[in-house]
Amino acid sequence: MALVPCQVLRVAILLSYFSILCAYNAIDMPAHQTYGGSWKFLTFIDLVIQAVFFGICVLTDLSSLLTKGSDSQEQERQLKKLISLRDWIMAVLAFPIGVFVVTMFWSLYIYDREVVYPKLLDNFIPSWLNHGMHTTVLPFILIEMRTTHHQYPSRSCGLAAVCTFSVGYILWVCWIHQVTGVWVYPLLDYISPGAKIIFFATVTLVLNIFYLLGEVLNNYIWDTQKCIEERKEKPKMD
């Protein structure tokens, strides 16, 4: 038996995201006052995605508890829709974007923090908040994947959705540059137009790879769990 029920873990994770979002929005940074506000940063978009996802997880748990033992087919149908929405967001948004934000941020930070997180930001963002935005996202999403089986969409539909999000965000970043003359990420100031195209294509490719990684990891975890359960039940059948 788990030391902490997964339902309690989801509530705790949801509350942590609320606290992170509130703390982040309370910061008086010049970048928040410019065109696009916080919504121009993928980190902030990811935080919103994670909060919405875990909010739906908690809502699903509550709905499952309330409908337990009920014979209402309508309630059962609504619960299945909620579970499908939860699984779709996990597969297409929460896992690939969450993993991308963590890996990309810390890779660039180690290489040269000034291109992704200038030292000036240390005056505005405390260390715990930085890790809340760029570190804990990964263990939180892995905990969710380990505690709950998620039904992935067909691979073609899933990859198409990931590409749609990626292209949409890239167009949003380019539009902000068109309006303001400033790139959202300082890294883009240092590379040529051709290199930018390669960079954006690479970002889309990496997001697709993380989607496939999530699908493989999800299947591996739950296929392994199924095998363990079958082995435990086998002696009882003899």
Q: What is the pLDDT of residues 76-121, one digit of tens each?
A: 888 899 999 999 999 999 999 999 999 999 998 998 888 888 888 8
Give a yes or no: residue 1 inside a domain: no
Give a yes or no: residue 223 inside a domain: yes
pLDDT higher at 71 or 35? 35
Number of domains in the chain: 1
Give a yes or no: residue 194 inside a domain: yes
Determine contact, residues 58/124, Cβ cutoff 8 Å.
no
Categorize the per-residue pLDDT at 140 as very low, low, confident or very high, splitting at 50, 70 and 90.
very high
Q: What is the pLDDT of residues 202-238, one digit of tens each?
A: 999 999 999 999 999 999 988 866 665 656 666 554 4
Give a yes or no: residue 86 inside a domain: yes
Tell me, yes or no, if the pTM score tops 0.85: yes
- pLDDT of amino acid 32: 80
Query: CA-CA distances (angstroms) from residue 153 to 77, 95, 150, 200?
Result: 18, 14, 10, 25
Residue in 154, 18, 14, 135 with CA at minimum distance from that of residue 87: 154
- For residue 67, the enclosing domain spans 6-237
Distance of alpha carbon 109 from alpha carbon 134, whole angstroms = 11
User: What percent of the chain has a predicted confidence (pLDDT) above 70?
Assistant: 91
The total of other beta-carbon atoms located within 10 Å of residue 222's CB is 15
Distance of alpha carbon 174 from alpha carbon 195, whole angstroms = 14
pLDDT higher at 52 or 121? 52
Name the average pLDDT for the chain.
89
